[in-house]
């Protein structure tokens, strides 16, 4: 059952979720594994773009510390918020458009993150990273979801 929240609360929560998204983007672009890892719940699930399934913050930390240092050399990533579904006031499904830019071009991803609010803070709970189908990578830019939407 989806829970409705008032407009002001929804906008404030979306702003807080956008801060999590911005922190992920900053941590990846600046190769800061600890800043990335601290965003996860202890029991989080992360499926990488390559399909590797990681269960728990410790496994996510081990993987991130192996791949992130040096992993962004010659590239950058940006995330565009496409949609937020509040499953409950403290649980949100967040659909993103991920753009990896290199000197050869741009790769597009379509991650889905489930965030849960704990102690007043949004945390990554269950995340799936995947490439976008070809029809998502061509043509016009897609609309970006914003708090006023």
Residue 25 φ then ψ, to 5°: -60, -45
Of 36-45, 103-112, 118-127, the poorest mean pLDDT is in: 103-112
Q: What single DSSP character describes residue 131?
A: B
Distance CA 83, CA 93 (A): 8
Name the pTM for this structure. Answer: 0.84
Tell me what pLDDT residue 124 has. 98
Tell me what pLDDT residue 1 has. 45
Q: Is the pLDDT of residue 125 over 50?
A: yes
Reported confidence tier of residue 132, pLDDT bands at 50, 70, 90: confident
Q: Is the pLDDT of residue 137 over 60?
A: no
Q: pLDDT: is 1 or 106 the higher one? A: 106
Q: What single DSSP character describes residue 105?
A: E
């Amino acid at each position: 059952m989806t829970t409705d929240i008032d407009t002001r609360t929804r906008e404030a929560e979306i702003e807080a979720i956008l801060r999590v998204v911005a922190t992920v983007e900053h941590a990846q672009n600046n190769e800061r594994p600890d800043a990335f890892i601290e965003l996860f719940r202890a029991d989080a699930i992360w499926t990488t773009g390559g399909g590797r399934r990681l269960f728990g913050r410790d496994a996510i930390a081990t993987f991130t510390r192996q791949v992130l240092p040096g992993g962004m050399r010659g590239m950058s990533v940006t995330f565009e918020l496409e949609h937020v579904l509040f499953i409950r006031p403290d649980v949100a499904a967040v659909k993103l458009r991920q753009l990896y830019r290199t000197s050869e071009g741009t790769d597009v991803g379509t991650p889905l993150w489930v965030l849960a609010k704990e102690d007043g803070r949004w945390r990554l709970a269950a995340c799936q990273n995947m490439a976008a189908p070809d029809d998502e990578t061509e043509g016009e830019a897609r609309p970006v979801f914003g708090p006023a939407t």
